[in-house]
Structure formats: structure tokens, C-alpha cells
Amino acid sequence: MVGLSLGEQHFIQGGIAQDLRCDGRKRLAYRPISVETGVIPQANGSARVRMGATDVIASVKAELGKPSLLQPNKGKVSIYIDCSSTAEPAFEGRGGDELSAELSTALQRCLLGGKSGAGAGIDLSSLVVIDGKICWDLYIDGLVVFSDGNLLDALGAAIKAALSNTGIPRVHVAAGASSDEKPEIDVSDEEFLQFDTSAVPVIITLTKVGKHYIVDATSEEESQMSSAVSISVNRQRCICGITKRGGAGLDPSIILDMISVAQHVSEQLINKLDSEIASAEAGDDDES
Amino acid sequence: MEEEKEPAMVTPGEVLGTVSEFKPGKGTYVAPHNDTVFASLTGYRRNISPAIDSSDQRPIVEVTGHKAHGPVPQPGSIVIARVTKVMARSASAHIVCVGTKSVREIFNGIIRQQDVRATEIDKVDMHLSFRPGDIVRALVVSLGDARAYFLSTAKNELGVVSAESTAGATMVPVSWTEMQCPLTGQIEQRKVAKMAS
Amino acid sequence: MAGKGGANPATYSPSPTIQKKKAPLFKEDWVRPDGRGFHQCRPAFFRTGAVNAASGSAYAEFGNTKVIVSVFGPRESKKAMMYSDTGRLNCNVSFTTFATPVRGQGSDHKEYTAMLHKALEGAIILESFPKTTVDVFALVLESSGSDLPVVISCASLALADAGIMMYDLVASVSVSCVSKNLVIDPIFEEENYQDGSLMITCMPSRYEITQLTVTGEWSTPKINEGMQLCLDACAKLAKIMRSCLKEAASDSKE
């Protein structure tokens, strides 16, 4: 929790109204973003994203599993976020559970698309090894290392970066196995398949403070919000998911306005992220 | 003021008028962004004409709930409470009535030593002021802490209104510090409320 | 009553009933399984005062989705909670074990609970009951699609029945995107095949959105269309809710 005096509150609100925020940014400007990939060697893919002081890590682990009966030709993806008590004492014990659950559902909603799989950032059918028998289960875990606002956007970016870093081992299916038996498979140690992450959307949270809304709010600014709308947008400028936080009501026209702003901002963010990811990947390769 | 017709039934969120027309009363609220008066309860809408001498000549619009939620103690409300535990520095009580209404769910209150009476507050002996089971009339001084509301009996008309003697009879007040058992004649000490006769 | 003829022993013998064919996949020119138009909601039924023990309660029925909500309080906040100047809202959504086709656990639904809390929070005047808590318990008796919107609308009705001060009623409607069509108030089967869904909860007479969730891929015009559909439906729903409240209030007067 951020405790602010009345003066500080007015200062933040006034700054936002005048399009000059406490750290000198404009309303629609991001803090510097830095991306590191391959930070966790045990995972199939991982990334650490820092936005200002906000610091998050995402890891992707792939395990072989059985597809669900309802959707035999699709793999499964689950997203879980952990809010560590190292980030904030309030997260200790069960304190972070509520936030964890909120972030996890928001990310699932924003990245995994509808029930039929349309609009998903990850092509689930590419995870299938044998129809109805074997598929890859992707476990995406996020960790909040330090929280200074705008966690959802940072986590979204970290997951996107981690997925670009992910290599799924190639699986050879032994030929000639009859359909009833458990097929023999051979997981390769050398050959890895990369994900196509161009369809993974980015999440843009517009935080409404007073009459205006801002992107990439710090936790001080978030404490002044009346409501926030997180919109995930992909490269085609399509909306892939929306969640709203904060109880205050919003006029529908404002929401539509926010959507168009988010679409506009997304383009810059996607380009920025892609170049950061590319340079992180390049740096990664040099080291190894 | 024209004669009120059959009072109209309204539900939360229905528009009652604008701020320039009406003064918001009970069961209503004003939305700051467009100065509209809305209903916040289900009930009958009533327009009350303002007092002749008041400077504000807008009629007051209020919604009298057909069914209000149970009463909630607030600072300044007079409550009836049953004493549950008497300690050296304070007494705990269950608030059973707020104003004239009985509560649906019990609220906890606490009477601290300094809030028992108005004078000589440092010489108060809690055990000579209340006993468990006494019915007390008290004033809510503040919302208190997370556990209980802070109650005060530091007024003549506040204090024990009904108490049972050790013999089991309802005692009769004899002075502002004493009550007497009608069966045994035994006198017990209490912070007695002065009842309006 | 029981010995009708006395010939039939009261044992369980499953008779082979012909299972209806599974709903076909949604093709180009499909009709909704229950024969509704794409932009037509299921008939809604509301009743307040379903639970006597509660301060307020409501029962809602949208087609086969049946929900009961009771409101308790305002009452003293639980001991573990911190002191607060304003009132608190405590929500819980749970399912009965028989609510779903596959027998469920009947447990609490964390995600719905959080959503219900967020949807209602902005509509209640929390300052009107300082330091105390209002508990909203929702139970989904039968789940048949659009559960959360029904729970939210029903809960706001229960709050109004309890006499809790509110800025406005809260109405909620969802639309699903099924093979290029937008269908409002989807049923279970439709939700299973949906490409995307959009749920709006709003305060109809203030024309404000308190909660909005979107999943799946949506283009801008489609979002606009979906939101408009929902908002119109919410306004209609609110009318039904208001008339239900008024009916209940005038009944109790007589």
C-alpha cells in the first residue's frame, strides 16, 4: 500500500492533468523497458522484463501430457503468477493470493483467446504431437520480483519474451505403432522448435486518474486511480482481451476511446518490445 | 405546495430531478458530474416543502424505504446495550438497539473507564458501575477500533436502565449511584440513568 | 400412492432412452439450439425475498440457469479485518454439486467471486454503513450458460431488496462470438464453441460500465457492436428488475 499525503496526491493528479507526470513522462509514455532472455536455464524459455522499477520474470516449461477429451487436437497452456513476498511485505503468506489470482485470470483472458481457441496468442494446435494422445502442456509461470505498478503489462511483455525464447524439443514418433497402444516417442535433446510469437498480443493498461488516463502507471499513480482498463492488442490491431479493474463506473464512450488509444499505443510498444527481444536473443546467443 | 398524489414508487438509480429543483434528502444522492438527484433505495418518493424561514426554498425530495437495512450504530446515536463482561478498566456490551430500532445482528461495544461518568473520571470503579447482564443506555462516541464501538454513559440520562439483583428481581433505582432490590432490600451500586418521567 | 397395481417392483432398471443427437457444429447458417434469434435474450424471471433468514435475497432464472443470492448485514466485520471508515462488501459465489452436467465439487468459484465483487463494489454507497460488512452469497443452482451475468444481476437485486443504499442497480449481459455471429445471452453449448466473449455489467440509468471483460480476437467495429448490444440488453433487463422490485414493494404494503 502506498501512503500519500494530500499534497502528494494533488501533485500527482495535477501533473497528470497537465500532461507532465512526476518522472517527467507524458501521459502516454512508457518508462524505459529492458528485456533479458534465457535467465532460467532449467526452463524451456524464460525472460526478465523491467519497466522502470517494476521487475518481473516469466518462465515457460513444456511437459508432455494428454490432450483434454473435448479438444483432442489442441495442447494445453496454463498461466500462473506468483507474487513473492520479497517484492512487498504485504504479499507475505496468503496476502499475495488475491493479486496473483487476479493477474493470472487477466493474463489467461488476454493471451489465450476464446474457448474455441480463436484469437489466442499461442497456436494451441501446434502443441499437439499425436492427435488425442500426446500433446505439450505449457506451464507459464510469472514471478513478481519488485512491484512499482503496471504489473500486468510487464508480465504480458515478459511472457511474450519468454515464449520467443522457448525451444520445444522435437518429438519423433516411432512409426508402425498401432492406434490402441501407447505410441513410442523419442524426445530429441538437440533439435528444438521455436515458437512463432508474432501473434502474441501486448497488454496495455490505461489507468484513469481524474479525467485523464495514463499508460504504465507507477504504484503511486495507481493509488490515485478510479479505474483501470487493460486491453490486449495484437499486431493486426485486433482486441484480444479486456479486463477492468477498480470499482468506479466508466461511460461506454470513454471505453471505446480507450480502446482506440490502446490500439495506437500498441504499435509502438510491439515494435519496441520486438527489437528489445531480438537484441536480448542476439546477446544471449553470443554468450553461449 | 400542491397536494401530493399517490406517492410514486422508485428503485435505486431512478432519476428524481436536478439539484436546482430539489434538495436531496434521505434515500437519495447527487451525482457530482451532472447535478442529478437519484434514488438510492426502493420505496416511495416524497417531496417535503421546506421550512418557511429557511433560505433554501427548494423542496426536499426523499425516498422512504419500504424496507431499510438493519440499523447500524454511528457516532452520536443512542444505543441500548447489554453488558457482557466487566473488567478493571472497561466493560464490554452487546448493542441490541440503535435509537428505537432493534438490530438484526449484534454489534460489540465497549465502555471505557473514562467514559462512564462526567466527573471524577479517574476514581471510577467499573465493578461498582456495571454488572454483567445490565441493560445500559449509552451514546456511541466513535466507531472505535476494529473490535468494538466506543460507548459513553457520561450523561445524566445515560447509564443502567434495568438491572437484576443477586436475588433475581428487577431492581429499583434509588439514587444516581444506587439501586435497590425490592425483595431483600439490599442496595447495589450502579451508574444509574436518570429516566425521563 | 406407492403401490400402484403392485406389479412393478421398485427397482432401478435403466431403460434405454434415445439420446438426442449432439448439437451439430456451428455452420454457416445455424440456428441457436433453443431456437432464439441471435440478438434475443432468454426470458428472464426475477423474484425477491427468496430466503427469509437473509436481510435481502433474490432468485433469478434465465432459461435453465438458476441462481439464488442472499444478502446479510450490514453486520460487524470479522475480527481479523482491519478497521475501515467505509463499509465493506464481501462476496462469495458457489456452485451446487449438481449445477453442471458433470458432477462438480460444489465448491467456491474464486474467479466469479472476484468478478462479482468488482462488479458490485462501484454501485454500493459504502459510506452509508461505516465499519460494517455486507455479505453477498450467491449460489448457482443450475448452470446453463451466462452464469456470471445472471449472478451479478441477481445480486444487485438482492442488495436492493436488503435496503442497501446503491447508486444504481447493476445489470449484466454477455455476448458470444460464434462463427462470425454475435449471439447474446449464450447458453452452455454456445459458450463451449465460442470464438470470443464479451461481458458488460453496467449501471443502466447512469449509463456507466462497472465491469467489462473481453476474450478472444475482436475487431474494433465488432467490439462496438457487441458493446451496444449488451448495453441495450442491460437497459431492458434493468426495466424487468425494477418492475420486480416495485411489485414486491407494493405487495408488502398491502
Cβ–Cβ below 8 Å for C216 and A237: no
Show the cell assigned to C122: 462501484
Distance from CA of C143 to the nearest CA of B (A): 28
In a domain, residue A5? The reply is no
CA of C164: which chain B residue's CA is closest? B69
For residue C247, what pLDDT is reported? Answer: 87
Contact (CB<8Å) A239/C211: no
Q: So what's the ipTM on this one?
A: 0.80
Residues of chain C with Cβ-Cβ distance to B143 below 8 Å are: 83, 85, 130-131
C245 and B11 in contact by Cβ < 8 A?
yes
Task: Give residue A54's domain range.
Answer: 18-287
pLDDT, averaged across chain B? 86
Stretch C68-82: mean pLDDT: 80
Q: Identify the helix (H) or strand (E) that includes residue B103.
A: strand B101-112
Q: What is the pLDDT of residue B86?
A: 94
CATH value of B9-65 in 2.40.50.100, 3.30.420.480, 2.60.40.10, 3.30.70.1140: 2.40.50.100
CA-wise closest residue to C157 among A155, B67, B81: B67
Question: Is the minimum CB–CB distance between B123 and chain C shorter than 8 Å?
Answer: no
Q: Report which secondary-structure segment, H or E, holds A191.
A: strand A185-194
> Which of C196, C223, C231 lies nearest to residue A114, judging by beta carbons?
C196
Q: Which of A113, A237, A244 sits opposite C212 (nearest CB)?
A: A244
pLDDT at residue C25 tops 80 = no
Q: How many structural domains is chain A composed of?
A: 1
Angle between helices C220-253 and A252-287 (to 10 degrees): 130
The low-confidence residues of chain B, meaning pLDDT below 70, are: 1-6, 65, 197
Is A247 in contact with C121 (Cβ distance < 8 A)?
yes
pLDDT in tens, B80-136: 999 999 999 999 999 999 988 888 888 899 999 999 988 888 888 999 999 999 999
pLDDT of residue C22: 46
pLDDT tens-digit readout, A92-137 = 777 778 888 888 888 888 877 666 666 666 777 777 887 777 888 8
* Subunit partners of chain B (3 or more CB pairs within 8 A): C
Does the CB of B29 have a partner CB in chain C at under 8 Å?
A: yes
The pLDDT, as a whole number, for residue A118 is: 62
- Domain B78-189 is found in CATH 2.40.50.140: yes
User: Which of B38, B125, B31 is closest to B86 using CA atoms?
Assistant: B125
* Residue A8 within a domain: no
Residue at A78 is within a domain: yes
Contact B29 C125 (CB under 8 A): yes
CB contact under 8 A, B146 and C74: no
Closest partner residue to B13 among C81, C162, C203, by Cβ? C203
Handedness of CA A258, A262, A265, A267 (dihedral sign): negative
Cβ distance of B42 and C163 shorter than 8 Å = yes
Residue C224 to residue A256, Cβ atoms within 8 A: yes
pLDDT of residue C79: 59
Which residue among C193, C211, C218 sits closest to A239, beta carbon to beta carbon? C218
Give the residue extent of every domain in chain C: 44-247
* Planar angle of CA A180, A185, A186, nearest 5 degrees: 170
Does the residue A10 lie in any domain? no
Can you tell me whether residue C138 is helix, strand or coil? Answer: strand
* Rama region for A100: left / alpha / beta (φ>0; ψ in -120 to 50; rest): alpha
- Shortest CA distance to A23 belongs to which of A61, A52, A55? A52
Spatial neighbors of B144 by CB under 8 A, at least 6 apart, are: B109, B110, B150
User: Smallest Cα–Cα separation from A53: which of A150, A156, A141?
Assistant: A150
Continuous segment of H or E residues that includes residue C241:
helix C220-253
What are the domain boundaries of chain B?
9-65, 78-189
C-alpha distances (whole Å) from C208 to each of A205, A260, C119, C212, C235 are 19, 19, 11, 11, 11
pTM strictly above 0.90: no
Give the chain C residue whose CA is nearest to the CA of B66. Answer: C249
The C-alpha atoms of residue C107 and residue C95 are separated, in whole angstroms, by: 6
Of B40, B104, B108, the CB nearest to C125: B40
What single DSSP character describes residue C77? P
Question: Taking 60 as the threshold, does the pLDDT of residue C119 lie above it?
Answer: yes
- Fold observed for domain C44-247: Ribosomal Protein S5; domain 2 (3.30.230)
Residue A227 within a domain:
yes
pLDDT of residue C4: 45
* CATH code of residue A163: 3.30.230.70
